[in-house]
Amino acid sequence: MNETPIERLLGIMRKLRAPDGCPWDREQTIDSLKSCLIEETYEVVDAMESGDRAELRGELGDLLLQVVFQAQICDEAGEFNFDDVVNGISDKLIRRHPHVFGDVKADTSEAVLKNWEKIKKTEKGGETPRSLVEGIPRHLPALTKANLVQKRVARAGFEWDEIGGVVDKLDEELAEVKEAMEQKNVAAIREELGDLMFSVVNLSRYLGHEPEEVLNENIAKFMRRFQGLENHLHAEGRQLETCSLDELEAVWVAVKNKEKQKL
């Protein structure tokens, strides 16, 4: 009987971890694979954004390898195996979709998400409700984490009725940063800056934009324009370090205007 693709992959992984397998693969632990998992995850995101489906297919394979790798390590320790991982997520999907596999009614995405959160609250604590903000990964990027926290509490009704409240809160936090700066209170400045950033994330979320994506796009734009500034100076035989701020600002404006003319 021919083996399935996943059986083939699992067999390869077992061979790599065997005594006569690959020295590097045999040395790996759950802890040592953390950085690999993070790197592969971001490479998948890059491939998703590139639109290159062949690249995406390859990167998804690399990400799947990380799952198989960790499952094999835990299998060797007698803790769980790959089948347990698959069965676990299958059970969870059925449990969290009672509107598909049961008799619960949920006709909209909003209703599905609210029901999803209700189910999650009781999954790990029996009948004891869990906090809406529990279970959020500690290692998420800060913008993503803030956005996720805000989404969760908003679904429970902890949300501004209109965008005016969001903007007013942003103005309030900016004013508090300025006040802390005037007082030269370092601890207060740090705290108020955090509040301001959190409010910016909230505005982005309220307007329907993922803050991590918005900031990454802005960073890419800045880098592109800065490289344009450098190229402009080099073409004129000038050095960045010897230019005044006014000179740099003039070139920066020229680069921006040139870029906008191409749009």
69 shares a domain with 84: yes
For residue 69, being part of any structural domain is answered with yes
85 shares a domain with 71: yes
180 shares a domain with 218: no
Task: Tell me what pLDDT residue 126 has.
Answer: 55
Question: Does residue 128 carry a pLDDT above 70?
Answer: no
Task: Tell me what pLDDT residue 107 has.
Answer: 87
Which pLDDT band, with edges at 50, 70 and 90, does 129 fall under? low
Tokens of 60: 């998804």
Mean predicted confidence (pLDDT) in 9-15: 98
Burial bucket for residue 29 (CB in 10 Å: 0-12, 13-18, 19+): exposed
For residue 42, being part of any structural domain is answered with yes
Model confidence pLDDT, tens digit, residues 152-171:
899 889 999 999 999 999 99
Q: How many degrees, rounded to 5, is the angle at CA 153 between CA 147 and CA 157?
A: 130
Expressed as residue numbers, the domain containing 161 is: 142-209
Mean predicted confidence (pLDDT) in 88-95: 95
For residue 39, being part of any structural domain is answered with yes
> What's the number of domains the chain is made of?
4
Rg (the chain; Cα; Å):
25
Question: Does residue 263 carry a pLDDT above 80?
Answer: no
CATH, residue 70 = 1.10.287.1080
226 shares a domain with 187: no
Cα 159 to Cα 118: distance, rounded to the nearest angstrom? 18
76 shares a domain with 107: no
Model confidence pLDDT, tens digit, residues 208-253:
999 999 999 999 999 999 999 999 999 999 999 999 999 999 999 9
SS (H, E, C) the chain: CCCCHHHHHHHHHHHHHCCCCCHHHHHCCCCCCHHHHHHHHHHHHHHHHHCCHHHHHHHHHHHHHHHHHHHHHHHHCCCCCHHHHHHHHHHHHHHCCHHHHCCCCCCCHHHHHHHHHHHHHHHCCCCCCCCCCCCCCCCCCHHHHHHHHHHHHHHCCCCCCCHHHHHHHHHHHHHHHHHHHHHCCHHHHHHHHHHHHHHHHHHHHHCCCCHHHHHHHHHHHHHHHHHHHHHHHHHCCCCHHHCCHHHHHHHHHHHHHHHHHHC
218 shares a domain with 194: no
Task: Tell me what pLDDT residue 119 has.
Answer: 83
Model confidence pLDDT, tens digit, residues 19-41:
999 999 999 999 999 999 999 99
Question: Does residue 260 carry a pLDDT above 90?
Answer: no
| 73 close to 17: Cβ distance less than 8 angstroms | yes
Mean predicted confidence (pLDDT) in 102-125: 82
104 shares a domain with 86: no
Mean predicted confidence (pLDDT) in 78-104: 95
242 shares a domain with 231: yes
217 shares a domain with 245: yes
For residue 118, being part of any structural domain is answered with yes
63 shares a domain with 30: yes
Which pLDDT band, with edges at 50, 70 and 90, does 199 fall under? very high
Which pLDDT band, with edges at 50, 70 and 90, does 122 fall under? confident
12 shares a domain with 68: yes
Task: Tell me what pLDDT residue 60 has.
Answer: 98
Q: How far is CA 133 from CA 4, 13, 113, 125, 212, in A?
A: 40, 36, 15, 14, 19
255 shares a domain with 203: no
